[in-house]
Amino acid sequence: MHNQPIPANGDKPCDCCKRFHRKLYLLDGYWMGDTCAEQYSFYQRDSKLTSLYWRGYEKQHAKVKRMLEGK
């Protein structure tokens, strides 16, 4: 799923949550931490907010949706 990560250096924030993760992975043109990349892959499979997976995780859904609409 992931390619080689770049180590944290404080120069590049995560494209999804804008935080500085320990490692960033390039996934479909976005630099994301491991947890954000996992949320992104779930969003790619099922982007409907009403699906069972996103119940209780509405903030993560909104983060990924905002990232994808911004590009």
Asked, for residue 62, whether it belongs to a domain, the answer is: yes
What is the per-residue pLDDT for 68?
93
- The tens digit of pLDDT for each residue in 20-68 reads 888 899 889 999 998 999 999 999 999 999 998 899 999 999 999 999 9
Q: Is 29 part of any domain?
A: yes
* Cα–Cα dist 26/16, whole Å: 12
In a domain, residue 1? The reply is no
**How many Cβ atoms sit within 10 Å of the Cβ of residue 17?**
19
Quote the number of domains for the chain.
1
Residue range(s) defining the domain that contains residue 12: 6-70
pTM to 2 decimal places: 0.81
